[in-house]
């Protein structure tokens, strides 16, 4: 048995924090360094999964507008007035366009 080859019958592709506020080059102070630079590789993987009807899970981070659930590493920025990963905002809750299947695709947020 080959343990390093993908098992496509059980495969799922997960992206984590690939939202505008964490990825785009002009998105400080929340930008996660290096993410924008690998976006094209993420898009290639997503295309393979979409073409083969394999599941994709986008894990996103959302902060309440009042900042009460913000990570400690970003709390000071929010206290200074930055709005980071706020639900229903283009920057915070939305995936970067480069990894979406098309321009009309938007996240559907429930109970945010």
Task: Compute how many other C-beta atoms are within 10 angstroms of the C-beta atom of residue 29.
Answer: 13
Mean pLDDT on 9-25: 93
pLDDT computed for residue 21 by the predictor: 92
> With contact defined as beta carbons under 8 Å apart, do 73 and 94 qualify?
no
Is residue 112 predicted with pLDDT exceeding 70? no
pLDDT computed for residue 108 by the predictor: 64
This model's pTM is above 0.95: no
d(CA 70, CA 82): 11
73-82 pLDDT, tens digit each:
999 999 998 8
Is residue 110 predicted with pLDDT exceeding 90? no
d(CA 111, CA 6): 34
**86-98 as b/e: b if 16+ CB within 10 A:** beebebbbbbbee
């Amino acid at each position: 048995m080959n343990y390093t080859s993908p098992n496509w019958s059980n495969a799922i592709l997960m992206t984590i924090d690939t939202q505008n506020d964490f990825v785009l080059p002009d998105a400080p102070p929340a930008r996660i360094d290096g993410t924008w630079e690998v976006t094209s590789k993420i898009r290639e993987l997503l295309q393979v999964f979409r073409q083969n009807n394999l599941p994709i899970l986008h894990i996103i981070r959302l902060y309440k507008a009042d900042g009460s659930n913000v990570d400690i590493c970003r709390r000071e920025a929010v206290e200074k007035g930055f709005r980071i990963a706020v639900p229903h905002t283009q920057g915070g809750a939305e995936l970067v366009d480069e990894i979406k299947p098309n321009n009309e695709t938007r996240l559907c947020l429930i109970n945010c």
